[in-house]
Amino acid sequence: MTTMTTLTLDGEWQLTSLNTPSITAPITLPGDVHSALLAADIIPDPYMGCNETKVQWVGEHDWQMTREFTVDAELMAAREVDLKLSMVDTMAEIDINGITAITCSNMFRHYRRDIRPLLREGSNQIIVTLKRADIEAKARAERLPFPVPWAVGNNQIPHMNTLRKTQCHAGWDWGICLLASGIYDSIRIQPVSHVRLLDMRTEQQWQHDGRCVVVANIHTEMLAGAQPQLAECTLETPDGERHSLSVAIDAAVNTVRFELDKPMRWWPAGYGEQPLYRLHLALDGQVIEKRLGLRELAVDTQEDEIGAAMTFMVNGKAIMSKGANWIPLDAMPGTQTPARYRRLLEDAKAANMNMIRVWGGGMYERDCFYELCDELGLMVWQDLMFSCALYPSTPEFLSDVREEITEQVRRLSDHPSLALWCGDNEVIGAIGWYPESKNNREKYVVNYDRLNRVLQEVVEREDPSRRFWASSPCNGELDFGDAWHDDNKGTCISGMCGIPANLSMLTTTSSRVFAASSATSHGRHCRQ
């Protein structure tokens, strides 16, 4: 079988302002516009003095990124050629040889299109046009059937809640306002000859005698008229033992099962080791690789005479969860390097943390973040990306969010570190913050519930192995009351946790300060 190589378009591109074409600079992708302008000495360091105000013009321009790439005869021989994008921030058009191939409008979505008809052998041009987020946010707000309050007091730019974009890019109480744009993940061109490999997701079936069956479900799309193809799947144990199986791919979902007589269990930091199994799948020149941690997970919320517990149970053992919020590493996404992720997460473990909460005003983190958490034994409380504002519940918004959550749950659910899906950060509480919702609470509670129910339905369909928790803080199912001050159930923010401890970038007017804290922003994770 001939293996065709995936082509990546990472590296140097040319950046140009469409408002002022004389402003040009090289830009490295994955990366962001602000980082490129800073490296070219076009803007000052936004963290120094009052420079934050001096660079606001960057977010008020449309930008274009261009480069040439070469396509050889081998790639042109493929029946289809997919352009695959993710972490595109946010309003963007991607043109191939003068024809629009993909239009993006959600930073958290994955995009794919067969661009084989647009390619030619030899030199090709790709142009990415990044459009102003503030103008689009305002236009969407004006189309809403009723006002939906945005994060006044945090955001410096209105109506960011109408966009599926990192909310703190518009500023937060701890961070500067840099309305970033760019592409923060690899840009890939994948040839497909017979069958498109969509993804591979696993489940663990634990037996009463301690054995574990690892089931790998391979999701594919056969091209018209294609014959069944052979997939090679290998599971390598932490001590190097290899289990290999072959399966003929002839349907949308095909299954491979690995039976392990003596599975090595994954544990949170402080409770045991973190052995990881390597799973490798090769099909029609496409490859998926994952590291799996075998463990049983549950969340105990049983009631007693005090209230209700919220205890994470791993391998049948109650875990005392200790950790902090994780906010984006930097206001400029292009500076968020794997080395910086490792340094901060290793610091968290050294501070005796075993849980990190990915905060809902940031972003679904890069793959390397979750891989490091798997390796270090740091459980992940994963907020979905909603924070401190109310959000639309129009059919268009809900449809976009439904696809977003589906894609993100499928991407992340195989990580052993992922412990909980949480719908949002403080959005239940935000119903009581704004005049519109305070004066018509029932209307905005229904508006909230429409969105939250979509989140719950998607999570429970795509990942039934984990608990969905509506919000943080939250007292439990369908409880839209004051969870800030009730520490007898659910998750709370009270006392010294009134401002959650953030593990990541904290900004001042003159420098970057990094902090780690052993305080948790949640309530009773373990009943004592």
Please report, in tens digits, the pLDDT of each residue of the chain (528 residues total).
Answer: 445 678 999 999 999 999 999 999 999 999 999 999 999 999 999 999 999 999 999 999 999 999 999 999 999 999 999 999 999 999 999 999 999 999 999 999 999 999 999 999 999 999 999 999 999 999 999 999 999 999 999 999 999 999 999 999 999 999 999 999 999 999 999 999 999 999 999 999 999 999 999 999 999 999 999 999 999 999 999 999 999 999 999 889 999 999 999 999 999 999 999 999 999 999 999 999 999 999 999 999 888 888 888 899 999 999 999 999 999 999 999 999 999 999 999 999 999 999 999 999 999 999 999 999 999 999 999 999 999 999 999 999 999 999 999 999 999 999 999 999 999 999 998 999 999 999 999 999 999 999 999 999 999 999 999 999 999 887 777 676 666 666 766 676 543 333 345 665 433 222 222 233 333 333 333 333
Between helix 367-376 and helix 338-350 the angle, nearest 10°, is 30
DSSP 56: G
Residue 164 contacts residue 106 (beta carbons within 8 Å): yes
For residue 507, give the H/E element and its range: strand 504-507
The residues near 503 (Cβ < 8 Å, ≥ 6 apart) are 323, 324, 325, 326, 327, 344, 348, 353, 356, 515, 516, 517
The residues near 78 (Cβ < 8 Å, ≥ 6 apart) are 4, 116, 191, 192, 193
- SS3 call for 138: helix
The string over 40-53, giving b where at least 16 C-beta atoms fall within 10 Å of a residue's C-beta and e elsewhere, is eebbeebbeeebbe
The verdict on pTM exceeding 0.75 is yes
DSSP3 helix / strand / coil % (the chain, rounded to 5):
25, 35, 45
Closest CA to 459 of 415, 412, 498, 394: 412
The gap from C-alpha 372 to its chain's centroid, in whole angstroms, comes to 15
Domains defined along the chain, listed by start: 7-190 (2.60.120.260), 194-292 (2.60.40.10), 320-515 (3.20.20.80)
Residue 217 contacts residue 255 (beta carbons within 8 Å): yes
Between helix 441-462 and helix 395-412 the angle, nearest 10°, is 30
d(CA 25, CA 227): 48
- SS3 call for 191: strand
